[in-house]
Structure 1
């Protein structure tokens, strides 16, 4: 038997405060916010498209109006004479830089991340180190160039050689590799670790045989993307003295001029021919960046399928 008192709670629940909300205004705010974030995204896309269009236009004019031969461009070294200038030495130097940067940064970065994530206790010191690493990942690149200039080029007397540039770039990308490796290690489920421990494996055996293979897609992706950033950095290389050379750097103790610094030198010249040489160099550098990003995506997908 129902009474008025029994129906009272239901009657009160129907009178909610949501009846006073202007849903039309809420929908308008959502549409305004969506429009703002869409406009912000499109602004970046449009600016990138304009930059690429400018590079492609100067590249095309360099091939047609100024007679820049791609064969000569790839087979000649740097020169002060515009008709003899090429990009071969800069390409070789950039490839050598990435090799030495990867050697210096990868093992130290991955090892540091393994220690911080798997071995280090969760205390104030560890949290302070991790916070500083995250901050170092956002430090301007010229700061690392100044550090390499003071500590290695002038401090221990290395001079403006390829090894000094590799050290500067390794310092630049190492925090990025550490942070990305930590995130990849955190993404590995604890059940995989516990299953390994249940079979009698030690901590290092678990890390080497279970955790690292599972985290390798994220580690490789973060490393290659960090190197893709390093290959386009100009400020650290300018600070260590990689301004101009007309020789190929075949070893770590040779003077060098990488692709970004060679483009910088050409862009600073007043002659239009050098401007179009710089545009051609930018197109080559962009091709390297796209290739490195494609390799990162391929390796990630490959490891994910294998796992």
Structure 2
């Protein structure tokens, strides 16, 4: 069987897992997709870390376009999207995502892997110990632009939609949690779109990339993950009423820390 078909089938399974966790815990799929893709690319496609890591980031970002659009559409119907916040935040996010994607392709794959792992540990610790506190300050246009710039850069560097970064920041600035999640969902589409296009441009016509690649985006993985994750996210959302999501989120965060440590020390 063609390796691309095997990869696609495995990504259907991966997408199912990603969707359930995204719906259940509200976490970004990139935190799962990047390590899983990296492992499969190295062992199935025989791609070294220097090229596999930017492919993992780029492919993860490309899936966010599909899942983010689905989520943003739902939040739009619910009235959870503030156009003022999204407009000015998105301007910074677009620039940050382009810079983050190009930076990711210019540094070594090993360094990119360790930066990703370190940032995942920070996010995981926030999931375990973080509290939704608020500031006495409010958001203006310059603040939104700077927040977007930072969020876009880090998100494109990690292959995530940025909700784990943006939601706590917006809540800190007295934005209602539901609107913060809705705005983050739509902003995630902006991150994914500009980041993916940048990765495609950077990797266009690179001879060392495998067949069915569009720049650094590996299409069999993109479509495999997107197809099933959009379906299972609904299942995960329904499970929130039956399971202790706070406890599960802490367990998942510990799992992320262990995976990240493995990535940092380079164990095979």
Query: Structure 1 length normalisation: TM-score?
Result: 0.27
Structure having the higher Rg: 1
Which protein has greater RCO, CA pairs closer than 8 Å, 6+ apart?
2
Query: Structure 2 length normalisation: TM-score?
Result: 0.30
